[in-house]
Structure 1
Amino acid sequence: MSVSLIIKSLLRRKVITALLLLQLAVTLGLVVNSLLLAGAAKELVEQPTGLELDQLLTVWVKPTSAAMRVEPALSEVITRQLVAIRAIPGVEAADSANQIPLRQGGSNRNMFETDRQDESNVSSVAYYNTGAQIFQVLGSKLVAGRLLTDADMNTPNTVITEKLSRQLFAGQDPIGKSTNNGTVVGVISDFYSQRYASDPFYSQILFYVLDGAERGYQLIVRVAPGQAELVRQQLTDVIRSAEPEMDIGTVTRMDENRDEVFRSEIGLATLLAILSGLMLLVAMISAYSHAHFHALQMQQEVGIKRALGASKARVLLDVLSESWLTTLVGAVLGVLVCYGLNISLAKVISIPAVPLWLPLLATLLLLVCVTLATWYPARIATRISPATATKTL
C-alpha cells in the first residue's frame, strides 16, 4: 500500500488517529526523559565518594540532661562513648563530629587565604569539628603535610581536602598557608561532603571541643569489611551503657545516607519509569484496538486484494505499514514533547539535555512495541477469504 493511500485511510478516522498520535507522542516523551533521569540518578549514586560506604556507620546522639550538653561534662560523655564503641568486636575506629559526610547540607563557611581574600575566597566549605581518629574512620590518605593529632586540639591548625587546596592556592604548596579558618598543616584525599556546598568535595577538618550539644552530635564508626550489621545491632545498647541519659537516633550505613541524599532523583526516575511502562502498555493496547478495528472494517477491501492475487504476506505488510507510519508520525510529535518535558524538568531538578540518539532509540522501541501489538490483528486480516469478502459486492 502506498503512503498516500495509508494517509487517506487514516484521515477517514481522524479522531481515533489523532488520539493515537497524541498517545504515542506523550509515551515517547516520557520514555526518553525517564531514561535520562534513570541514567543521571545511576551516575549520582555510583559516583566515587572517596569513602568506604559499606564500612561506615553513623548515629545522631544528644544528652537528655542539659548539664551534660556543655563542657566539661560533654567531653567526658563523648570520651566514654567512644571508648565503649571502639571496644566492640569488628570496630576499626570511631570518632565524634559536628556532622557527617554525604548529606544535603550542614555546617559550612567561606574560606580564603589571609592575604589573598578577593582572589581565593571559596564559599560554603564544609567543616568538621572532630578528633584524631577521624582520618582512619574516613579512610583519608595524606597527600601533603601532616595529619592533625591530639596536640592540635583547640589550635588554629586545619587539614583540607586536595580539591579545596587546588582551588584556594592555585597549585602552590598549601602547607603553612594562613587562612581565615586556620593554618593549613596537611592535605588529605577528597571525600564527598555536602551536596549543596560550593563543591561536594570541599572540606576542612578542625580539632575543636564542641561548644555545646543543644542539637546533638554525630558518632561515626568504621567497621571491618562484612561487620556492619553485627556492629549496628550492638551500637545503640553500647552507647546507652556508656551514658544512659541519651537520645539516640537510628544507626545508618553511609550508603543509606547516600541514597537519602539522592532520594528525589531516584524516586522521580522510578516514578517516570513506571509511568513510561504503563504508557507503553496503553499504547500497545490502543495500537492493537486500532489495527483490529481497521482489519474488521476493511474486510471487503482485503478480500478484493486477495481475489486479485495479493498474497497473505502483502496483506500483512499493508496492515503493519499503517501502524508503522502512525508510529513514526507520533514519534516526530514525541520529539517535541520530550524536549519540552526535558526543559520543564530541568527547571526543578538536575537532568541532562536530550541527546539526539535517545529519541531515535525510543522510536525504535515504540516501533517494536506497536509491531508486537498489531501482529495478531494483521494475521487476522490475512485469513480473510476472497470468496467470503466478495459476497458483499
Structure 2
Amino acid sequence: MPLHLLFKSLQRRKVVTTLLLVQLAMTFALLLNSILLAQQTRQQLQQPTGLPLQQTLQVQLKPTTVALRQYPALGDLLTRQLEAIRTVPGVVAVAYSNQGPLLYGGNNGNVHDPDREELSKANGVPLYTVSADFFNVLQLPPLAGELPQNEIAVDGLAKSPVVITQSLANKVFDDKPAVGRQVNRGPVAAVVADFYGQRSAGTVNYNAIQVAPLYGVDWGYSILLRTEHGSTDKVRQALPQVLQQVDSNIEIFYIRTLAEQQQRLYSNEFGLASLLSLLSALMLLVSMISSYSNAYFHTLKHQQEIGIKRALGASKSRIFTELLSENWLTTVLGATAGVGCALVLNQVLAQVISIPSLSWWLPLLTYTVLLLCVTVATWYPATIATRISPATATKAL
C-alpha cells in the first residue's frame, strides 16, 4: 500500500493512533535509556581494577573510646590486631590503611612537583596512610624504586617517602623517571602499577601511598587482608571474634570483599538500570497488547473493506503486508518521537547519576527491538485478516 494511503488509514482513527504513538514514544525512551545504563554498568563492573577482588577482604572499624583513636594507643591496638589476624588460617597478608580502594570519595588531595606546580598538579588524588604489607595485600610490586619496609614516625618538617602509581608519576613528571624526586607530599620512593582508587577523583588510577603510623582515626580505619583461594568465607566468619578478643572497644562497620565493594560502588546505576529495565519490559508488554488490540479491532471493523479487496484480486500476502505496514508505520512514527523523549530522559538522569550520552547505534537497536515486538503482536490479527473471504464484501449489499 502506498505511504499516503497508510497515513489516511491512520487518520481515520486519530484518537487511538495518537494514544498508541504516545505509548510507543515513552516505551522507546525508557527502553533506550535502560539499555544505555545496563551497558554502562556492565562495562564499569568489567573494567580492570588492578586488584585481587575476590581474595581481598576489607574490614572497616573504629575504636569506641577516644584514647584508642589517637597515637600511640592506636598504634599499639593496630599492632595487636594485625598480629592476631596473621594467625587466622587462610590469611596470606594483612595491613592497615586510613581508607580502602574502590570508594566514592574519601581522603584525597593534590599531588604536584614543587618546582612546576601549575603544570604538574593532579587534583583529587586518594591519599593512603598504610602499613608496609599494604602492597603485598593488594599485590602491587614496585615498577621502579624500593617499597618502604617500616612505618616510621616522622617528626618536624620531614615527610615520609611516597609511593605513587604509574599514571600519577607520568602526569606529575611528564613520563620521566619519578623515583628520588620530590612531590609536595614527600620524596618518591617507588612507583607501582595503577589500581582503582576513588570514583570521585579526576582519574581513578591516581593514587599516593605513604607507609606511616596512623595518628588519629576519628572517622575509622580499614584493615585489608588477602586470603588463600577458597578461604575467604572462613576468614570472614572468624574475623569479628578475633578482633573482639584483641580489644572489645571497637565497632566493626562491615567486612566485605573488594568484589562486593566494587558492586556497591555502582549500586545506584545497577539499581536504576534494573528499575528501568523492568519498566521497559512492562511498557513493551503494554505496547504489544495495544498494538494487538489496535490491529485486531481494525480487522474486525473493516472486514467488508478487506473482503472487497480480496474480491478485486488482492492476495492474502498483500492483505497481510498492508496490516503489518500500518503497525510498522505507527511504530516508526512513535519511535521517532521517542528519540526526543529519550534525550530529555537522558538529561534528567544525568542530574542524578553518571550516565553517558546517547550513541548513534542505540536508537537503531531500540528501533529494531520495538519493531520486532510490534510485529510479533500484530502477526495473529494480520493472519486473521488473510482468512476473510471475498464473500464478506456482499454483506454490504
The normalised TM-score by structure 2 is: 0.95
**Distance across 2 between alignment mates of 1:41 and 1:130:** 31
Q: How does 1:176-325 map to 2 (within 5 A)?
A: 176-325=180-329
In structure 1, the partner of 2:50 is 50
4+ residue runs over 3 A deviation:
151-155
Q: How does 1:100-179 map to 2 (within 5 A)?
A: 100-150=100-150, 152-154=152-154, 156-179=160-183
Residue 350 of structure 1: which of 339, 344, 354 is its match? 354
Query: How far has the Cα of 1:151 moved from its partner?
Result: 6.3
Are the equivalent residues in 2 in contact too, given 1:37–1:269 (CA < 8 A)? yes
**Distance across 2 between alignment mates of 1:114 and 1:253:** 38
**Distance across 1 between alignment mates of 2:92 and 2:49:** 20
Structure 2 residue matching 1:84: 3-state secondary structure: helix
1:245-269: CA deviations, max 9, x gaps? 2211221111111111111111121
In structure 2, the partner of 1:11 is 11
2:378 corresponds to 1:374: yes
Query: How far has the Cα of 1:170 moved from its partner?
Result: 0.7
Equivalences, count: 393
1:148-176: CA deviations, max 9, x gaps? 11165535211111111011111221111
Are the equivalent residues in 2 in contact too, given 1:96–1:220 (CA < 8 A)? yes
Whichever residue aligns with residue 185 of structure 2, its letter is: N
Are the equivalent residues in 1 in contact too, given 2:72–2:215 (CA < 8 A)? no
- Note the aligned Cα RMSD (angstroms): 1.6
1:279-324: CA deviations, max 9, x gaps? 1111101100110110111011011122223232222122111111
In structure 1, the partner of 2:26 is 26
In structure 1, the partner of 2:73 is 73
Whichever residue aligns with residue 170 of structure 2, its letter is: R
Whichever residue aligns with residue 89 of structure 2, its letter is: P
Whichever residue aligns with residue 275 of structure 1, its letter is: L
**Distance across 1 between alignment mates of 2:292 and 2:10:** 15
Are the equivalent residues in 2 in contact too, given 1:108–1:127 (CA < 8 A)? yes
Query: How far has the Cα of 1:9 moved from its partner?
Result: 1.3
Residue 336 of structure 1: which of 335, 340, 359 is its match? 340
In structure 2, the partner of 1:59 is 59
Whichever residue aligns with residue 168 of structure 1, its letter is: V
Q: Percent identity?
A: 48
Change (3 A) 1:30 1:208: same
Are the equivalent residues in 2 in contact too, given 1:153–1:207 (CA < 8 A)? no
**Distance across 2 between alignment mates of 1:108 and 1:180:** 13
Structure 2 residue matching 1:249: 3-state secondary structure: strand
**Distance across 2 between alignment mates of 1:187 and 1:145:** 7
In structure 2, the partner of 1:98 is 98
Whichever residue aligns with residue 85 of structure 2, its letter is: I
Change (3 A) 1:151 1:76: closer
Structure 1 residue matching 2:114: 3-state secondary structure: coil
Residue 369 of structure 2: which of 355, 360, 365 is its match? 365
Are the equivalent residues in 1 in contact too, given 2:74–2:215 (CA < 8 A)? no
Change (3 A) 1:335 1:174: same
**Distance across 2 between alignment mates of 1:211 and 1:151:** 12
Change (3 A) 1:67 1:352: closer
Are the equivalent residues in 2 in contact too, given 1:105–1:194 (CA < 8 A)? yes
1:196-241: CA deviations, max 9, x gaps? 1222111111122212232221111111122211111111111111
Whichever residue aligns with residue 98 of structure 2, its letter is: N
Query: How far has the Cα of 1:68 moved from its partner?
Result: 2.1
1:96-148: CA deviations, max 9, x gaps? 11100000011112121122222222222111111110000111021111101
Are the equivalent residues in 1 in contact too, given 2:181–2:188 (CA < 8 A)? yes
Whichever residue aligns with residue 63 of structure 2, its letter is: P
**Distance across 2 between alignment mates of 1:165 and 1:19:** 59
Whichever residue aligns with residue 392 of structure 1, its letter is: A
Tell which deviates more after alignment, 1-10 or 294-303.
1-10
Q: Which runs of 5 or more residues in structure 2 are unaligned?
A: none
The normalised TM-score by structure 1 is: 0.96
Q: Which runs of 5 or more residues in structure 1 are unaligned?
A: none
Are the equivalent residues in 2 in contact too, given 1:126–1:194 (CA < 8 A)? yes
Are the equivalent residues in 2 in contact too, given 1:316–1:378 (CA < 8 A)? yes
Change (3 A) 1:282 1:124: same
Are the equivalent residues in 1 in contact too, given 2:319–2:385 (CA < 8 A)? yes
